[in-house]
Homo-oligomer: A and B are copies of this chain.
């Protein structure tokens, strides 16, 4: 339907969405690309270029309708749909994902949480009860699962991901410090926290070198 959009644009879209949500919450219902540019600290021409990938969203002389723009970008991001997410690993990070209410507002329903640790199985985490990893296959057979969030040790993650793809789960939110080797129709979003911290230290070290 739409032409192929560059990764860089896709990386920026959620940020536009977040800003537009904040504007709406603050009662602002029209905005020019100049104003949006100042608020988001990107150039107005970048914004117009990004939006032109999707037909430009019909800016008028007096700017964009914040609500229409938010809705359009939300639709492009798939936020007009619901995604059922299971979390593999009920450690602190898995629990943080399970407990964060902000995801459900965007249509991401944290629907089950699994662990292998007998001490964790059966415990309540927010609205969920930690399930036994042994019951994963049955759960996936009996329930719709759109996304698997992997908060597992890196030694375990590839094996669990493989099992899940065999069961028909094709989207992974991967927090394990390893790259998953998956079939080409799988989609993966990696959150490598140690790498994020290294980019920060790079910038710290590099900045002091400049001084």
Once bound together, how far apart are the Cα atoms of A201 and B191, in whole Å? 15
Once bound together, how far apart are the Cα atoms of A20 and B193, in whole Å? 17
Residue ID in chain B nearest A75 by CB atoms: B205
Indicate if the CB atoms of B205 and A81 lie closer than 8 Å. Answer: yes
Q: Which of A190-211 contact B (CB under 8 A)?
A: 191-207, 209
Classify the secondary structure of A's interface with B. helix
Interface residue? A168 (CB, 8 A)? no
Indicate if the CB atoms of B106 and A194 lie closer than 8 Å. Answer: yes
Indicate if the CB atoms of B204 and A83 lie closer than 8 Å. Answer: yes
Instruction: Kindly specify which of A11-19, A29-37, A59-67 makes contact with the partner chain.
Output: A11-19
Point out the residues of chain B lying under 8 angstroms from A135, CB to CB.
Answer: none
Indicate if the CB atoms of A202 and B92 lie closer than 8 Å. Answer: no
Identify which of A147, A173, A179, A199 gathers the most chain B CB atoms within 10 Å of its CB.
A199
Point out the residues of chain B lying under 8 angstroms from A202, CB to CB.
Answer: 10, 13, 76-78
Once bound together, how far apart are the Cα atoms of A2 and B203, in whole Å? 13
Closest chain-B Cβ to A12's Cβ sits at a distance in Å of 9
